[in-house]
Amino acid sequence: MVKPFNSLFGKSNKGVGIELAPQRVNVVQLRKQRQGIKLDALTSVPVPEGVFVEGQIADPPAMAQLIQQALAESKVKASRVATAVPGRDSIVRLIPVPAELDDKELREMVLNHEAGLYLPYPREEADVDYQKLGYFVDEDGIEKVQVLLVATRKEVTDTYINTFEQAGLQVDVLEINSFALIRTIRDQLRQFGPQEAAVLVDIEFDSTEIAIVVNGVPQFSRTVPIGTYQLQSALSRAMNLPASRDMDLLQGMTIPGGPVEAGNKTGQTEVNPGLAAMLRVLGELTDELRRSIDFYLNQSENLEIAQIMLAGPGGGLAQLDEFFTQRLSLPTTQIDPVGALSLEIDEEKYPTVQRAGLGIVLGLGMREV
């Protein structure tokens, strides 16, 4: 019997969310009030190179210090928090199981029998949790229940839990990045019908997490090794500038909205070689996104893509939504997590281009409110 990890679908009790990312630690505290949700605190501190490597925490003591620094700067007093792991470290699957099972039988079946069928590594190396979604009748007329199965490698969850322990904190909730993002924009997702899918494109530091969502539930997920760092590096190299983790240069760019075919130049790209280099990387990301969408649609009957939704530190780049709309012929919008939750925020500290990167941490803070 494998001991289950219970907090992937747990509940936080303080409204304190902490997001650990390769280039920043974000801390948020939200509070429920009659008119809606109030933002009590929001702080970001930069993460030096080497603390995070290839999506993993490589230096837990240094990360623990950064967490303490962010909490101190935000003046948040917390002992228990919610956090999240990247999608690349996780397995998310929808599985049908017989409806007649009672809760104990269902738990035994999902955690100790079904889970092993979907994992690319031994079951004993995984922390697994699940959530019942709803009942349906399959093609043979048998009633079944749809279960959302989530798994991460134990070494990943252990590293996160130990890092927070070194910071003097207990992890109440450890979930998947995309789940936190979905919670932030759930009202926007409700506009889509049961046959309409939204594609969440979360452009992070060194990767992009793609999640195809139907009825608020991720049906397909994939991580592509292209993020803001690859965009910034292409831009810097073409302009003979030193490599930097700072995103100021990238966030100051405006993506051309019109079609730009590979090998051709527009007036803008001829004048600005950095922009041309960045567009080549964006073209690669577009191709990967198209492959993911085509792969999913080929396995899903009577489903259409209703909208692409851009999030993450790279999701707010000026006119990036127009770029994807042109390239993919699909309506694309940039997520504003602050607007989605009707929060009041310091406009100077968090300008529009940076807000798309707050979706995950705000979703973590939303666990309780």
Locate the domains of the chain by residue range: 7-87+155-188+358-365, 88-153, 191-334
b/e 176-210 (16+ beta carbons within 10 angstroms → b): bbbbbbbbbbeebbeebeeebbbbbbbbbbbbbbb
DSSP 111: I
Angle at 68 between CA 64 and CA 74, to 5 degrees: 145
Residue that has been written with the tokens 């042109």 in this structure:
326
Phi, psi of 59 (to 5 degrees): -135, 80
> Which pairs with CB-CB distance under 8 Å and at least 24 residues apart come from 196-199?
196/303, 196/304, 196/305, 196/306, 197/296, 197/300, 197/303, 197/304, 197/305, 197/306, 198/305, 198/306, 198/307, 198/308, 198/309, 199/289, 199/292, 199/293, 199/305, 199/307, 199/308, 199/309, 199/330
Q: What is the pLDDT of residues 275-327, one digit of tens each?
A: 899 999 999 999 999 999 999 999 888 899 999 999 999 999 999 999 999 99
Q: What per-residue confidence (pLDDT) applies to 349?
A: 81
Tokens at 226, concatenated: 């292209």
Rounded distance, CA 47 to CA 259, Å?
A: 36
**CATH fold of 7-87+155-188+358-365:** Nucleotidyltransferase; domain 5 (3.30.420)
Walk along the chain (369 residues) and give the pLDDT tens digit of each residue.
233 344 555 554 458 999 999 999 999 999 888 778 889 999 999 999 999 998 899 999 999 999 999 999 999 998 999 999 998 889 898 899 988 888 899 999 998 888 889 898 899 999 999 999 888 888 888 898 999 999 999 999 999 999 999 999 999 989 999 999 999 999 999 999 999 999 999 999 999 999 999 999 999 999 999 999 999 999 889 988 888 888 888 888 889 865 544 444 444 545 578 889 999 999 999 999 999 999 999 988 889 999 999 999 999 999 999 999 999 999 999 999 999 999 988 887 888 888 999 999 999 999 867
- The label of the residue with tokens 């051309």 reads 256
What's the first-to-final CA gap in the chain, in angstroms?
35
Query: Distance between CA atoms of 345 and 286, rounded to whole angstroms?
Result: 32
Does the domain at 88-153 match CATH 3.30.1490.300? Answer given as: yes
| Intrachain domains 7-87+155-188+358-365 and 191-334 with the same fold | yes
Q: How far apart are CA 46 and CA 22, in angstroms?
A: 9
Rounded to 5°, the CA angle 282-285-291 comes to 145
Q: Which whole-number Å values give the CA distances from 233 to 139, 244, 264, 269, in the listed order?
A: 51, 7, 21, 17
Q: Domain 191-334 maps to which CATH number in 3.30.365.10, 3.30.565.10, 3.30.1130.10, 3.30.420.40? A: 3.30.420.40
HSE-up of 101 (CA within 13 Å, CB side)? 18
Predicted local distance difference test score (pLDDT) of residue 14: 57
Q: What pLDDT score was predicted for residue 162?
A: 96
Alpha carbon distance 35, 15 (integer Å) = 17
Residue 92 CA to residue 1 CA, distance in Å, equals 21
Cα–Cα distance between 301 and 304 in angstroms, integer? 9
Cβ 281 vs Cβ 234: under 8 Å: yes
